[in-house]
Amino acid sequence: MRKMTIPAVVGLCLFCFWATAEPAGTAMSIKVKTTQLRAEPSFFGKNVRNLVYGEQVRVLEESSSWAKVRHESSGAVGWINKSVLQSGKIEIKSGAAKVGHSATSDEVSLAGKAFKETETSYKKSNPALDYRWVDKMETFSVSEAEKKRFLKQGRISVEGGL
């Protein structure tokens, strides 16, 4: 009986260590509004998944200006340009002491209200301005093939290749 207890305790300890061990790779956060997780280390690699500001990834491998990462919440794996990554976790906490890094919910609400009032006031004082084309441009979409053709015709090289 005593001989079985020692291996059982050792096995239980190993299991607990394995279950709580930090996954391999460096934890990083997305520091831009949106970006794409790509199938290859290229701006024209197939889009595996869209990622947004603050989402967590874990770096698995690095190559030039690209990092192979695993998206923490979905498990999706792909390549992302290192320029959109920030070390650690981005946490936005309301009421924190560091004003440069956080805002209370009242401050966020007030800023939104102030922006809307400023925008409305500006439009009233500049009635001749027409934003229809700006709104329309925000809806434009350019295919990967069109982007490649543009770069090729303009003899523009992309760091890390296409």
Domains along the chain? 22-87 (2.30.30.40), 105-153 (no CATH)
Residue 121: the pLDDT is 85
The answer to whether residue 69 scores a pLDDT higher than 70 is: yes
Closest-CA residue to 63 (of 42, 44, 84):
42
- HEC secondary structure over 29-69: EECCCEEEEECCCCCCCCEEEEEECCCEEEEEEEECCEEEE
User: CA end-to-end span of the chain, whole Å?
Assistant: 64
Over residues 93-144, the pLDDT tens digits come to 555 555 444 556 666 666 667 777 887 888 888 888 888 888 888 888 888 8
pTM across the whole model: 0.52
DSSP state of 111: H
Residue 39: the pLDDT is 94
Closest-CA residue to 161 (of 83, 85, 86, 81):
81
Residue 19: the pLDDT is 44
Least confident of 37-46, 55-64, 108-117, 137-146: 108-117
Over residues 6-36, the pLDDT tens digits come to 665 555 555 554 444 445 678 999 988 889 9
Are 35 and 45 in contact by the 8 Å Cβ rule? The answer is: no
Closest-CA residue to 80 (of 49, 106, 53):
49
Average pLDDT (47-59) is 93
Mean per-residue pLDDT over the chain, rounded: 78
Residue 18: the pLDDT is 47
The answer to whether residue 81 scores a pLDDT higher than 70 is: yes
Rounded-to-integer distance, Cα 105 and Cα 144, Å = 40
